[in-house]
Amino acid sequence: MKGIKLRRMLGMALLTATVVTAIPVMAFAEQTEQTGQTEQVGENTGEEESSTPSQETVITGPAVVITAGKAKLLSVTSADEKLKLKWKASGRVTGYVIYRKTSGTEYKKIKTIRDKDQLTYTDKHVTPLKTYRYKIVCFYKEDGKIYYGANSNPISCKVGIKVGTIKAFEVKAVKISLQLKWKKKGNVTGYFIYKKEKKGEYKRIAKVTEKKYLDEKVFLNKKYAYKVRPYLKKDGRVFFGEYTKGVSGKADVKAVKRKITDKNSGLYGKTVLTYEYNDGTMVSDPEKYLDKKDVSYVMYINKSRQMVTAYAQVDKCLVPVKVFICSPGNATPLGTFHLNLKYRWHELMGPCWGQYCSRITTDGVYFHSIFSSKPNDNKTMSVSAYNKLGTTCSHGCVRLQAYAAKWIYENCPIGTTVVIYNGSGYEPFKKPVIGKVPYWHTWDPTDDTAKYLCKEHKCH
Ligand SMILES: [Zn+2]
């Protein structure tokens, strides 16, 4: 009580210093003592920079002490490349002065807070990964004079680093793979990709620097979930950002039935069943969706376009499974036929010899490989005939690459339906394009039994 009374007296004395003469000596003493540490709050801050707080505001003299309160620094935490200070204070407080230092330097005043109820401060002027040490000093203002409290405890904190974030993360099926794409905001060096199967845990599967990732290790019709986490490399260290939310995707194949209404198609009136990926492209190897044991094939030869399509018959639909380039002849008849004879090798008109012969008509129109000039000799293939594949140039047989003739020979038993037509309309597959072979390449590069020659010549 005594102290407060005295303080009031002092205050009055200070206010009226010029007119009041009977001021107790101790008041003057205090005034003198305080001068060095007195400042006008709100005055130019440059001056504040140089002032250092006293450990305690002590009034020497008989028992009159004015002491500003003391702050206790509670925490300094790093978030978003800023440091946040929290403190509490006790005693007489008008505001706070925040001091900061870095290793090997002196404390400098960085902020004066003139609100005793403000108990946090965010220091934005910091450098990532640098450590700062803080202390807080309370000040107390009365009668135009400022009294400083003792230093608070110091707390050091290292500034973290803000790793950029990921936006617009999406997973889309592209055939039998899943394409991950995203955008980024802020500083990112790269990304970690995490993947999860239905009931499993997320596992890291890749580290990329691009803003996309194609996961080809997926099964059809199976759902996978993904997360992406950005990272930032700085000073040889890796800092992790936030995970994205899990986004799932599935690569599936749909069976699409089409009734062919194109009158220019050899398939007019038929129903074609194709398997398509999510992006609408046709599965190129649909046979794996078919039950091999039950599959029977129908061969369609588009004579005018020199291509052969193999269809599997499924539920009264035709599933296109293979397409081959061929060379029919003008004499190739149109109509519906059934395979009726097979030869591994057979003498053809020429004389010449063909491999994998499957007879289409009873009067000698065959599917067969490009002919050889010597009996049963796959090293004497006619290069010019091979290079003419895709044109109409045979005597009536349907010439094929060796692998195609072999496929028909092995997969289309006697009795298999063969339809020969001229059609400019719908075909499920495009006509294949094949490379030509040089004059010395007297064997079919698709012939399994001549592969060793390509290997020797390092040509295919
Ligand atoms: Zn070759």
8 has pLDDT over 60: no
Ligand 1 centroid from CA 434, angstroms = 13
* Residues linked to residue 308 through DSSP beta bridges, in sequence order: 301, 324
What integer best gives the mean pLDDT of the chain?
86
pTM of the model: 0.56
Ligand 1 centroid from CA 405, angstroms = 18
Q: Which of the four pLDDT bands, split at 50, 70 and 90, describes residue 57?
A: low
295-457 and 165-250 share a CATH fold: no
Ligand 1 centroid from CA 347, angstroms = 24
Ligand 1 centroid from CA 401, angstroms = 13
What CATH topology corresponds to 2-158? Immunoglobulin-like (2.60.40)
d(CA 190, CA 203): 17
CATH number belonging to domain 165-250: 2.60.40.10
Ligand 1 centroid from CA 370, angstroms = 15
Please tell me whether residue 64 adopts helix, strand or coil conformation: coil
Neighbours of ion ligand 1 (CB under 5 A): 445, 454, 459-460
| CATH homologous superfamily for the domain 295-457 | L,D-transpeptidase catalytic domain-like (2.40.440.10)
Ligand 1 centroid from CA 379, angstroms = 11
Q: Which of the four pLDDT bands, split at 50, 70 and 90, describes residue 355?
A: very high
Nearest one of 289, 80, 105, 276 to 176, comparing CA atoms: 276
pLDDT tens digits, 375-431:
999 999 999 999 999 999 999 999 999 999 999 999 999 999 999 999 999 999 999
pLDDT tens digits, 170-211:
999 988 889 999 999 999 999 999 999 988 899 999 999 999
What are the domain boundaries of the chain? 2-158, 165-250, 295-457
| 275-279, 294-298, 439-443: segment of lowest average pLDDT | 275-279
Peptide linkage before 351 cis (omega within 30 of 0) = yes
30 has pLDDT over 50: no
